[in-house]
Amino acid sequence: MTKFSDLNLSPKVLKAVEEAGYETPTPIQEGAIPHALDGKDVLGIAQTGTGKTASFTLPMICKLARGRARARMPRSLVLCPTRELAAQVAENFDTYSKYVKLTKALLIGGVSFKEQDQLIDKGVDVLIATPGRLLDHFERGKLLLTGIEIMVVDEADRMLDMGFIPDIERIFSLTPFTRQTLFFSATMAPEIERITNTFLSAPARIEVARQATASETIEQGAVVFKPSRKDREGSEKRKVLRALIDAEGEACTNAIIFCNRKVDVDVVAKSLKKYGYNASPIHGDLDQSQRTKTLDGFRNGDVRLLIASDVAARGLDIPAVSHVFNFDVPSHAEDYVHRIGRTGRAGRSGKAFTICTPRDEKYFEAVEKLLQKEIPRLDNPVAEAPAPAPVEAREDTPKDDTRKSSRSRRSDSDKGDSRPSRSKDSGRSSDRRSGGGRDKTVVGMGDHMPEFIALSFEERRAS
């Protein structure tokens, strides 16, 4: 079995890895690190949670240990689609570079430009950034990318989903042609393939798992239900979600609940809090300080249920997530893999449940087609009470008797009213029917027909 000591990493990096508690590299690390150390371009394809971050941080630290950064000219660049993923990469560099003197800067939204400018002015070896904030600094004249030696694009397919591909192409054009490029993704869409063919030079392709596969340690299931009414779909879905959480009991130590829309994230979080669940929302519209506070609370156990949009589907490195609930079926099948990949990490077991309504069926079929297997269907955990039989369908009460009893109740309630009751008119009505007069029986109005409808014009005028 290969160990980190067999990968030609520097002694200082090896010491930091051992202190972090790791001895054996994952398949993507074992395949990518030697090529990265040799200076080759790398195209890494692996499912989420397999250790892709260390696949580029470890060789980068080894190579950057020699040399010195200049002001406003970082030596390496790591592009991430979300703030959370960028922060996770920064934490990895802190962990593995503790015995190597390297400087780094984190350029993400929600943090003041002034603080970031101060770091860049001093010169950084590693620049970790989201594309938008990076270009903001460049356009303000605070940053030069002509000194980039190593460039990493992490979660490239997520970049595609979030519309960052034009920004990525522009950033590539600002870096030297002689750079080393490391490209990592869980899936390879045609657009991603085009980017790699354009900007990577004879890359070493490391594919350790079939594209877009879920970990075998994750138990999956789906509840397919049809709401009683369209306007009740949301409330009934939330009821199913609560029932699923309750059914797992203490086994559900913590969980991430994914919604497709930010507004639904807030609604679901508010609903769960109302019913006494320890829940907090996280999505792109929240301030960075609030997002950081929520994530920290989830990591240390103060928050049990994290309701998230897809902005948090990647970049959350929390090894002990026991459950993932898809409140909505994702519109992009690849997102399903990334969502459920938040559980069952590092060889642990996990559970992932999805709530599917009739409008989600086409998306759910796309997910199963991508996984190339059927997701087991589960019984609806919400116990449905049998609907009461309609009055006219009951065999023990004849229709006519029911109508008569309802009429008699009405006549009793109308005592003292100037309007004639129907019981007084029964004789005249029967006389009319027998004598060929007008039949005042009205058909089709049900048992709660207003009295005045059954009266003739003369009787209405008299009343």
Average pLDDT of the chain, as a whole number: 82
R_g (Cα) of the chain, nearest Å: 33
Say if residue 396's pLDDT is above 50. Answer: no
The whole-number average pLDDT for the span 432-444 is 48
Q: State the pLDDT at residue 456.
A: 63
Say if residue 397's pLDDT is above 50. Answer: no
Q: State the pLDDT at residue 386.
A: 42
**pLDDT range class, residue 33, cuts 50, 70, 90:** very high
* Phi, psi angles (nearest 5°) of residue 97: -110, 20
DSSP code for 73: B
Q: State the pLDDT at residue 183.
A: 94
Q: Are residues 322 and 254 in contact, defined by beta-carbon separation less than 8 angstroms?
A: yes
Q: State the pLDDT at residue 344.
A: 80
**pLDDT range class, residue 320, cuts 50, 70, 90:** confident
The whole-number average pLDDT for the span 165-188 is 92
∠ Cα 64 39 345 (to 5°)? 80
Q: State the pLDDT at residue 158.
A: 80
**pLDDT range class, residue 371, cuts 50, 70, 90:** confident
Say if residue 435's pLDDT is above 60. Answer: no
Say if residue 150's pLDDT is above 90. Answer: yes
Q: How far apart are CA 153 and CA 79, in angstroms?
A: 5
Amino acid letter at 421?
Answer: S
* Phi, psi angles (nearest 5°) of residue 441: -70, 125
Say if residue 421's pLDDT is above 50. Answer: no
Domains belonging to the chain, first-starting first, are 4-207 (3.40.50.300), 218-378 (3.40.50.300), 395-462 (no CATH)
The whole-number average pLDDT for the span 189-207 is 90
The predicted-structure confidence for 89-103, as pLDDT tens digits, reads as follows 999 999 999 999 899
Q: State the pLDDT at residue 312.
A: 58
Q: How far apart are CA 86 and CA 91, in angstroms?
A: 9
Say if residue 217's pLDDT is above 50. Answer: yes
Q: Are residues 147 and 74 in contact, defined by beta-carbon separation less than 8 angstroms?
A: yes
Say if residue 354's pLDDT is above 90. Answer: yes
Which strands make up the sheet holding 104-107, listed edge to edge?
104-107, 126-129, 76-79, 150-153, 180-185, 42-45, 204-207
Say if residue 425's pLDDT is above 60. Answer: no
Q: State the pLDDT at residue 393.
A: 40
110 φψ region: left (φ > 0), alpha (ψ -120 to 50), beta (else) = left
The whole-number average pLDDT for the span 129-145 is 93
pTM, full prediction: 0.63
The whole-number average pLDDT for the span 123-149 is 93
Indicate the helix (H) or strand (E) that contains 79: strand 76-79
* Phi, psi angles (nearest 5°) of residue 321: -75, 120
Q: State the pLDDT at residue 407.
A: 45
Q: State the pLDDT at residue 93.
A: 94
Q: State the pLDDT at residue 460.
A: 59
Q: Are residues 42 and 36 in contact, defined by beta-carbon separation less than 8 angstroms?
A: yes
Q: How far apart are CA 272 and CA 280, in angstroms?
A: 9
* Phi, psi angles (nearest 5°) of residue 218: -100, 120
The rounded percent of the chain whose pLDDT value lies above 90 is 48
Q: State the pLDDT at residue 264.
A: 93
Q: How far apart are CA 345 and CA 338, in angstroms?
A: 12
Say if residue 85's pLDDT is above 60. Answer: yes
Q: State the pLDDT at residue 454.
A: 62
Q: Are residues 332 and 300 in contact, defined by beta-carbon separation less than 8 angstroms?
A: no
Q: How far apart are CA 447 and CA 402, in angstroms?
A: 8
In 279-398, the DSSP E strands lie at 279-282, 305-308, 323-326, 350-356, 377-378
Cβ-proximal residues to 146 (8 Å cutoff; 6+ apart), any chain: 73, 174, 175, 176
- DSSP output for 217-271: TEEEEEEE---SSGGGHHHHHHHHHHHHHHHHGGG-S-EEEE-SSHHHHHHHHHH
Report the number of secondary-structure helices (H) and strands (E) in the chain: 17, 14
The whole-number average pLDDT for the span 441-460 is 59
Residues facing 183 on adjacent strands: 43, 153
Buried b (16+ CB within 10 A) or exposed e, 78-87: bbbbbbbbbb
Amino acid letter at 449?
Answer: M
Q: Are residues 60 and 76 in contact, defined by beta-carbon separation less than 8 angstroms?
A: yes
Question: 218-224 and 377-378: which strand pairing?
Answer: parallel
Q: State the pLDDT at residue 317.
A: 67
**pLDDT range class, residue 401, cuts 50, 70, 90:** very low
Judged on CB neighbours under 10 Å (0-12, 13-18, 19+), 343 is buried
- Considering 172-176, 281-285, 377-381, the range whose residues carry the highest mean pLDDT is 172-176
Say if residue 26's pLDDT is above 70. Answer: yes
Q: State the pLDDT at residue 376.
A: 93
Q: State the pLDDT at residue 281.
A: 92
For the range 317-322, what are the long-range contacts, defined as Cβ-Cβ under 8 Å and sequence gap of 24 or more?
A: 317/53, 317/88, 317/91, 317/345, 318/342, 319/345, 319/346, 319/348, 320/253, 320/254, 320/348, 321/254, 321/255, 321/256, 321/345, 321/350, 322/251, 322/252, 322/253, 322/254, 322/255, 322/350, 322/351
